[in-house]
Amino acid sequence: MESASQFLIAIGGILVLGMATDLLGRRTFLPRITLLLIFGIIIGQNGFDLIPDIISNKFELIADVLLLIVGFLLGGMLTRDSLSKAGDQMLWISISGALVTTLVVFSGLLLIGTPTEIALLLGCIASATAPAATLDTVMESGEQGPFSKLLLAIVALDDAWGIILFSICIALVSVMNGHSETNNFVYTIVADIGGAILVGVLIGFPAAYLTGRIKPGQPMLTEALAVVFLCGGIALWLNVSFLIAAIVLGAVVANFAKHHEYPFNAIEGVEWPLMVIFFVLAGASLEISALQSIGTIGAVFIICRIAGKLLGSHIGSRISGANKITQRWIGVALLPQAGAAMGMALVAANQFPEYRQILLSVVISTTIFFEIIGPPLTKLALDKTKDQKLENK
């Protein structure tokens, strides 16, 4: 009974904290995500240590569920209509942002003498953004213009490219370290990414046809959660990327469910409560002392990731013919980093235990930095790009 009471009191308290954070976010320049992280740090193990183990031990599960829902919602934004309006910009900016960031971070870390394998892993992890934080910042701002839609589409693809790069990197480092059973990293890449796409497609097409029949035009929450959880569970069971699978699932349903009026309104109701719990627990679990141990590697990671995102996004914007405002602000809006990067770090740490301490210290510590400064910068970019058009002028 004691554990049940601790669980319910903690969850209830965190959700109340979320409402208070929402109110504060409306009255300050700080987005809700940043405030939740700060509050998490205060009540977590580095502060008053108020969160019971029965909650904190579920952090990884909560993170997976949230990323599944966010991936599904982001995939739903990749419709034929949105792609036709911003297809070139979305494609070029997302690819260039991910590639250039990886190359800049990898090169910077090599220059200071970081081992090649660690530099490769951190370079690929640096390409990831924060879909949950970015989506919430856009929703909080109320912006629904071309720039915000382009930003969300880029975030959806950005993490897909990041996961693809990360899969390549994992396979390559495995071959370099002799961890690979087949010594064929091409097979590993194709199996992970191709398997995720296949899972998303095979679940997405039946879901597109079957959902939204009980309540005509709109799938119920039960239907939406059922297909998302099935997709994620099967992807994890097959050991393929559940985030890519969720994005593909959302895109397939959005594009092929002709009878849906709006296919994702039901699931959006559970997104914010999960975000509240996730980001409070993320702040509570972060080791502030780790900031002191990352030294030069962490500083170079932060500087090079900022430079890579700004430079890569600017190059992609210019290639795609985006206007000057987009060229100036899209990189700034893509600086948040959270769940996807931490997920990659955990995967790499489990696969390469010899690098576990350095990988987790760098990624967790720099995540604190980027999740505190990132959402306010995204909000600033949204404010600066109000009412703009995407076409070049």
In DSSP notation, 230-285 reads HHHHHHHHTTS-HHHHHHHHHHHHHHH-TT-SSTTTTTHHHHHHHHHHHHHHHHHH
In a domain, 7, yes or no: no
Residue 288 has pLDDT above 70, yes or no: no
In a domain, 285, yes or no: yes
CATH number of the domain that residue 253 is part of: 1.20.1530.20
Residue 273 has pLDDT above 60, yes or no: yes
Q: Over the chain, what is the mean pLDDT?
A: 78
Question: When comparing pLDDT for 50 and 213, which is higher?
Answer: 50
Looking at residue 294, its amino acid is I
Least confident of 78-87, 219-228, 311-320: 78-87
Q: What 8-state DSSP symbol labels residue 391?
A: S
Q: How confident is the model at residue 392 (pLDDT cuts 50, 70, 90)?
A: very low
In a domain, 250, yes or no: yes
- Asked if residue 72 lies in contact with residue 265, where contact means CB atoms within 8 angstroms, the answer is no
DSSP 99-115: HHHHHHHHHHHHHTT--
Phi, psi (degrees; rounded to nearest 5) at 231: -60, -50
User: Per residue in 139-185, pLDDT tens?
Assistant: 777 666 778 878 887 877 777 777 778 777 877 787 777 655 555 55
In a domain, 47, yes or no: no
User: Per residue in 69-113, pLDDT tens?
Assistant: 777 877 776 777 766 665 678 888 888 888 999 999 999 999 998
Residue 1 has pLDDT above 60, yes or no: no
In a domain, 255, yes or no: yes
Burial of 19 (0-12, 13-18, 19+ CB in 10 A): exposed
Range of the domain at 67: 61-384
Residue 21 has pLDDT above 80, yes or no: no
In a domain, 26, yes or no: no
Share of the chain above pLDDT 70, in %: 78
Least confident of 123-137, 183-197, 200-214, 238-252: 183-197
pLDDT at 11 (0 to 100): 82
When divided into structural domains, the chain yields a total of: 1
Q: Closest Cα partner for 151 from 370, 333, 341, 372?
A: 333
Query: Looking at residues 366-389, what average pLDDT do you find?
Result: 78
Q: How confident is the model at residue 201 (pLDDT cuts 50, 70, 90)?
A: very high
In a domain, 105, yes or no: yes
Tell me how far apart the alpha carbons of residues 288 and 306 are, in angstroms, rounded to a whole number: 21
Side-chain-side CA neighbours of residue 8 (13 Å): 4
pLDDT at 47 (0 to 100): 75
Share of the chain above pLDDT 90, in %: 11
In a domain, 33, yes or no: no
- Asked if residue 222 lies in contact with residue 208, where contact means CB atoms within 8 angstroms, the answer is no
Both tokens assigned to 88? 């070139």
Sign of the alpha-carbon torsion through 297, 162, 100, 75: negative
Measured from the Cβ of residue 15, the count of other Cβ atoms closer than 10 Å reads 15
- Asked if residue 100 lies in contact with residue 319, where contact means CB atoms within 8 angstroms, the answer is no
pLDDT at 310 (0 to 100): 93
pLDDT at 108 (0 to 100): 94
Tell me how far apart the alpha carbons of residues 230 and 236 are, in angstroms, rounded to a whole number: 10
